[in-house]
Amino acid sequence: MSTPVVWPASARYEEVESSAPGGLGFVQDLLNTASLGKPRQADLLESPESARQWLDSSFAVLHRVDPGAPAAPHGLGPDGLRRVLSLRDDLRTVLSSGPADESSETVAVPSIETTAAVTLGAGGARLSPHGDAVEAVRSYVLIQLVAASYGGTLRRLKVCANPRCRGAFYDRSKNCSRVWHDVSTCGNTQNVRAYRARRKERGPASAQ
């Protein structure tokens, strides 16, 4: 019997079996390092020391699900930490905007850029992370999102619609219709009403 995959940041407030599959689980874990949920959890990237602890534990899980993932960056300096934080925040904004949402005038959606190596060989075509330490992590994260986008699973990685939660979850429902990470804690009547009002404000393209 294999031990379950437990992502350290995501496990703070969600069911273990609802994590995103493979390397996408690492992207979800990065999103969930933020001070999120209800009740609020600590920001795991608050200091270089807490960030190093999270990186060590999350990469240990990542290397189990994807042995080809890059090594964890050693000792995150202030600049490295700032870049991981901006990746996390930009990702949340991108995922909150939703792939089918055309009402982007109301939310400025950032464009996240990185580089990757493309190889075509006997095993087919593949993308590999490029760059040192933090840049390799950024590259790896974006490669997971590209792969999920091509594989049709990116739309399942979502940010909870409760503005006081904003946790990342993986929607395994058949019609991919979930908007709350946990309907019992976040999908209360007040939140549902506020969510509908926001959708309405943002235009007919996102109102369904």
**Conformational region of residue 133, where left means phi above 0, alpha means psi within -120 to 50, and beta covers everything else:** left
The CB-of-191 to Zn ion minimum distance in angstroms stands at: 9
Asked whether the beta carbons of 129 and 139 are under 8 A apart, the reply is yes
- Looking from the CA of 92 toward its CB, the CA atoms found within 13 Å total 21
Nearer to Zn ion, 73 or 167 (CB): 167
The CB-of-173 to Zn ion minimum distance in angstroms stands at: 15
The CB-of-180 to Zn ion minimum distance in angstroms stands at: 5
Asked whether the beta carbons of 23 and 140 are under 8 A apart, the reply is yes
Nearer to Zn ion, 30 or 160 (CB): 160
Q: What 3-state class would DSSP assign to 116? A: strand
The CB-of-32 to Zn ion minimum distance in angstroms stands at: 11
Nearer to Zn ion, 158 or 202 (CB): 158
Nearer to Zn ion, 138 or 181 (CB): 181
Which residues form the interface with Zn ion (CB under 5 A)? 160, 162, 165, 167, 181, 186
The CB-of-192 to Zn ion minimum distance in angstroms stands at: 12
Dihedral pair phi/psi, residue 128, rounded to 5°? -125, 150
Candidates 78, 85, 36, 31; CA nearest to 58 is 31
* DSSP run (H or E) holding 120: strand 116-121
Nearer to Zn ion, 126 or 155 (CB): 155
